[in-house]
Amino acid sequence: MKKTLQTEEILLTALSVFLMVHFTPGISFWLWIPLFLLPDLSMLGYLAGPRIGALSYNLFHHRGLAILIAAAGYWLNIPLLLTAGLLLLAHSSFDRMLGYGLKYEDDFKHTHLGMIGQAQERK
């Protein structure tokens, strides 16, 4: 089952990148890389504690929100909004492919996909 989920995330990441290249062709590849990593700045919320950290992380890694932003950008003809939504979708799918899911409030390593890092290795 884990391989099936990883394959699904790979396909969603690839689809997001394809759509971004198709709908927003003006973005340089060298600009795309830092923009792709930008949602991880949401981890700075953990400086305010695990509850705020989980909230900020989950907000910027929620695929539903990413799709809503991309759809709004498409329908309202706002390329920046479309790009932001597709980047969020690509990033969150890529993270989930690597096993980083949405966070619970008790611990950064506790995600909806299970425990990550050393905690997972102990099982």
Give the pLDDT confidence of 70-95 residue by residue, as tens digits: 999 999 999 889 999 999 999 999 99
Residue 32 pLDDT:
83
pLDDT band at 101 (very low <50, low <70, confident <90, very high): confident
Residue 103's domain comprises: 2-121
Q: What is the pTM of this model?
A: 0.85
Residue 118 pLDDT:
56
Q: What is the mean pLDDT of residues 12-30?
A: 85
Residue 119 pLDDT:
47
Residue 12 contacts residue 67 (beta carbons within 8 Å): no
Count of domains for the chain: 1
